[in-house]
Structure 1
């Protein structure tokens, strides 16, 4: 396994302080942070701080993007057919693919048993996600069938009640809109 970074070996409270300082300073001021850490007795180069800050900033960006996507889905998607869950599963599937791609890039010097453990965990999570996806699709199909049945029943009643063909079709479109 590769050498641990100088930031990885910091005591937890110092690392949490560093993470807060980076976010509060909007990932700037690395020279000041280097000096503050030196005053506390930790020799961490500006380059190490910048690498750590960049990774942390990228993680925060991914979290923000996922959060915003979830907000949009919650606001825009009616949830009668559990569209939010479908969207959430799609986000998770995308992340799992990203993780698997990164696993392919694990270096030759890394411990193969660590890679095997990561692959086993990823495989288990993918299986769980796939089962959830299959169950969700089954549920969505059942919802569509029930809506189609309700639309057909309403259409028959509307025709018997003397509604015009246009009104019947408008009613059907409104009912079917529930399932889309």
Structure 2
């Protein structure tokens, strides 16, 4: 297994302060940050700080993107057909897929075969409920659409019999039935 970076070995409070400084500096000024660490009594190279900063920056970007996507979903998606749940499941599936690719791209120095297999096993075990949720959501949507189709067929029959006027049928088609797509 690969050795932990010198930055990851720092005490938690120092590492968190470094992460705050990284964010405050826009993930730049690595020489200044290495000097700050030296003043704190830790001899860590500029390149080690840069490697760690790159990882933190990617994590921050991922969190920011997920947060923004969740906000947009919550603001923009009415939830009549469970659009938010579908979007959240899609986001999770994307993240799991990206994680699997990242695990596969790790070199043997970074992660030995046993550790890689262990990670894959954990991902597989944890993805099962996600797949079940996705399948159930699709089943729910299909059943809802089928139920709506049946109800609309009855309304069309009433319209042909003259017990429902064409204007009301049109409103139902656009305002209610349109929610299912």
What does 1:13-162 align with in structure 2 at a 5 Å threshold? 13-109=13-109, 110-157=111-158, 160-161=162-163
Query: Secondary structure at 1:50's aligned position in 2?
Result: helix
**1:179 maps onto 2:180 in alignment:** yes
Q: Report the alpha carbon displacement of residue 47 of structure 1 after superposing the two structures with TM.
A: 1.5
TM-score, structure 2 as length reference:
0.88
Structure 1: runs of 5 or more not aligned:
none
Kindly report which structure 2 residues correspond to 1:163-174, keeping only aligned pairs within 5 A, or say none: 163-164=165-166, 168-174=169-175
TM-score normalised by the chain length of structure 1 = 0.88
Greater alpha carbon shift after TM alignment, 99-108 vs 155-164: 155-164
What is the root-mean-square deviation of aligned Cα atoms in Å? 1.9
Contact 2:155 2:164 in 1 (8 A): no
Using the TM superposition, give the Cα deviation of residue 162 of structure 1 relative to its aligned residue in structure 2, in angstroms: 5.3
Task: Output the CA distance in 1 between the equivalents of 2:12 and 2:40.
Answer: 14
* Structure 1 residues 127 and 176: CA distance shift in structure 2, 3 A: same
Q: Is the 8 A contact 2:30 2:49 kept in 1?
A: yes
Superposition deviation, residue 14 in structure 1: 0.8
Q: Tell me how far 1:157 sits from its aligned partner.
A: 4.6
| 1:93-141 CA distance string (max 9 Å, x none) | 1111111111212322333221121010111122221111111111111
Equivalent-residue separation in structure 1 for 2:33 and 2:171 (angstroms): 64
d(CA) in 2 for partners of 1:179 and 1:76? Answer: 16
Aligned length: 179
